[in-house]
Amino acid sequence: MSHSTFETRETVTQAILKGKRNNKLTFAQIASAIGRNKVWTTAAILGQHPMSADEAEKVLTVVGVGRDDEFIALMQEIPSRAHRNVLNENDPTIKRLQEVVDVYGPSIKEITHELCGDGIISAIDCRIDVNKKEDPKGDRVVITIDGKFLKYQPW
């Protein structure tokens, strides 16, 4: 019985990121290898979504880790999502995204209610994409959030 070097979900994430770096891969390339969206795949790699055994095996192959049953098992675990990490909260990109939500979230909420009624934009059933848009005044980042509207139900 061989001993796995993967004992926690964090060790799996670090191994994937190391393989990504060593093989000069992008998240989009890893996503393509498993047939998923690049944002979803990146979130899964960072521990926010479980992967199927087949997807985890494909990630192992593409990043060059080699077959490991514990890795595959850890990638299938359902995570505690949206936990706040003090290190991430201090990251300038995370802080600016939080600022966007703080400043524009109430407006987005009000407009959503005008358009759709009383409900919420689902984070469970949404599609997100991130792209670069070249601009003469400096490159721009385009973030698209396509979320299912969930109407509140009286009970």
Residue 70 annotated in active site: no
| Other beta carbons less than 10 A from residue 34's beta carbon | 19
Residue 21 annotated in active site: no
Cα torsion 76, 11, 21, 80 to 10°: value is 50
Residue 57 annotated in active site: no
Q: Distances from the Cα of 73 to the Cαs of 2, 78, 80, 148, in angstroms?
A: 15, 10, 16, 30
The active-site residue, picked from 96, 107, 114, 134, is 96
> How far is residue 60's CA from residue 77's CA, in Å, rounded to a whole number?
16
The active-site residue, picked from 10, 99, 110, 140, is 99
Give the active site residues: 96, 99, 122
